Amino acid sequence: MFISNAMAAEGAASAPGGEYASLIMIAVFGLIFYFMIYRPQSKRVKEHKSLMSSMTKGDEVLTNGGLIGKISKITEENDYVKIDISTDLTVTIKKDYISAVLPKGTMKSL
């Protein structure tokens, strides 16, 4: 009622290379996604897996929750670690929640 029907002009030319421009744009977005998101994340996962496999009894570790302790026992079958936070306090956590292995003597220096 208020809007009149618009008629498209016959024979309107499309932009040259329009079909290839969209493919190129998709490829560029794919490359940006790979180099900005996927590649750094896979590198972090690989480094964390090597950290988890290199842990041994007696290592001082930092957990994601901020706890610092010394590994007293590692169980390989279910990926749990017992950490001594003090002489009479032991915590059991999953290996995945260990964020860093600290240098020896870190607990005494705190």
> For 65-74, what is each residue's pLDDT tens digit?
999 999 999 9
For residue 14, pLDDT beyond 60: no
The whole-angstrom separation of Cα 19 and Cα 12 is 16
Q: What is the pLDDT of residue 6?
A: 56
Residue 5, pLDDT score: 58
Mean pLDDT computed over 82-97: 93
d(CA 84, CA 67): 10
What is the Cα 36 distance to its own chain's centre? 12
Pick the closest to residue 103 from 67, 62, 53, 63 (CA basis). 62
The pTM score is 0.65
CA distance to 9, 36, 61, per residue, from 50 (Å): 64, 22, 14
Q: How far apart are CA 41 and CA 63, in angstroms?
A: 20
CATH of 55-109 among 3.30.230.10, 3.40.718.10, 3.40.50.720, 2.30.30.30: 2.30.30.30
Neighbours of 83 (CB within 10 A): 21
